[in-house]
Amino acid sequence: MNNLLWFLRASQWARNPPSARRVKLVLFVILVIVAIVVLEKLGWWPEWAQMERGRRAVLPR
| DSSP one-letter string for 3-17 | HHHHHHHHHHHHHSP
For range 35-57, the mean pLDDT: 84
pLDDT of amino acid 1: 57
Alpha helices by DSSP H, 1-61: 2-15, 20-42
Average pLDDT score, the chain = 88
6-24 pLDDT, tens digit per residue, is 899 899 999 999 999 999 9
Q: Which helix (H) or strand (E) holds 45?
A: none
Residue 34 Cα distances to 27, 41, 49, angstroms: 11, 11, 16
Q: Which residues have a Cβ under 8 Å from the Cβ of 36 and sit 6 or more positions away?
A: 45
